Structure 1
């Protein structure tokens, strides 16, 4: 793979092409033109369009995980960790940056990078699974996946014009009420 500086320039240029012209506009030819280098020179740094798309997805997952880790690190209350996780994840998924990344099908990830992507996604979801387990949710992994689905649906509503604040509050109220109900059922 490319040196860090070259890699960052390639990812930035590819992201710009996708944001400006759409996913289908990203070709190795278009990327080489944007970078003002030859296609053979580009292939010295990246193996394929799929590798470039994969690198964009991996960068996005790394940014998300690192920021969540920073936000959650000093929070001791697991319910507060869940709230922060919800709001940050919703803000992230409703952002313009994530919208263009979400158009990249995960199926384009080359086999040699799939393990890394799964590991990064696992790290991201574990930052929700851990506080769910700590409060006593019976199946925290399944609950985390359900919450992820709710966040995705809520982000889609925001993308279609719904008010972010109202949607974020409704999401938090629903998820927190669900967790509290599940915990009270366990106590009975």
Structure 2
């Protein structure tokens, strides 16, 4: 009989699931998406493969679980970056800075790499839904500020941030400043 390491079975399973997801992220961060296999995960955490099947039916199920586990954390960080009574420009600066830091974090890179792999359609839909929820705090902030077409503008802002993330710019402070300036003012030709 497996040893329970928490006051309740439910808490034990919850802790074990957290540890499995973290170990899965580490595998992807260290070896890329192909390193994420149930056999590698079992070795990493010291469980038998059959024990893993209690948590994940397949590698794809594990990959989807890792991505889905990250989305609420990201949404909370996005909402926090847009909170408070600051002017819109300050909120957007905070949002861009937080998003760029998040995108360069190893956890995000692992989730993005996994999302690009073949996942079942139901998992892809759950991830798409999670990304839509991730955009909601920005949509709400723009709407509260009286910005026209807040959803469309939020999608465009996110597109600019994602593009900025791909640039090989060593100075993150300059990247944030120019990205925010582009969002707020576009290109001033005067």
In structure 2, the residue matched to 1:64 is 74
Give 1:60 shift: 1.7
In structure 2, the residue matched to 1:86 is 96
Give 1:13 shift: 1.0
Give 1:108 shift: 4.2
- 1:134-176 CA-to-partner distances (Å, cap 9, x unmatched) read 223221111111111111111111xx34321111110011111
TM-score for the superposition, normalised by structure 2 = 0.81
1 CA distance for matches of 2:90 and 2:140? 12
In structure 2, the residue matched to 1:19 is 29
Check whether the contact 1:19–1:100 (CA below 8 A) recurs between aligned residues: yes
Check whether the contact 2:29–2:109 (CA below 8 A) recurs between aligned residues: no
Q: Which moved more, 1:65-74 or 1:21-30?
A: 65-74
In structure 2, the residue matched to 1:127 is 137
2 CA distance for matches of 1:136 and 1:72? 15
Please report the RMSD computed on the Cα atoms of aligned residues, expressed in angstroms.
Answer: 2.4
Give 1:65 shift: 1.1
**Which runs of 5 or more residues in structure 2 are unaligned?**
1-9
Q: 1:35 to 1:96 in 2, by over 3 A?
A: closer
Alignment length, in residue pairs? Answer: 177
1 CA distance for matches of 2:23 and 2:121? 24
TM-score for the superposition, normalised by structure 1 = 0.81
Q: 1:65 to 1:143 in 2, by over 3 A?
A: same
2 CA distance for matches of 1:120 and 1:34? 28
**Which runs of 5 or more residues in structure 1 are unaligned?**
182-188
Give 1:30 shift: 1.0
Residue aligned with 2:166, SS: helix
Identify the match of residue 155 of structure 1 among 165, 185, 189. Answer: 165
Check whether the contact 2:78–2:98 (CA below 8 A) recurs between aligned residues: yes
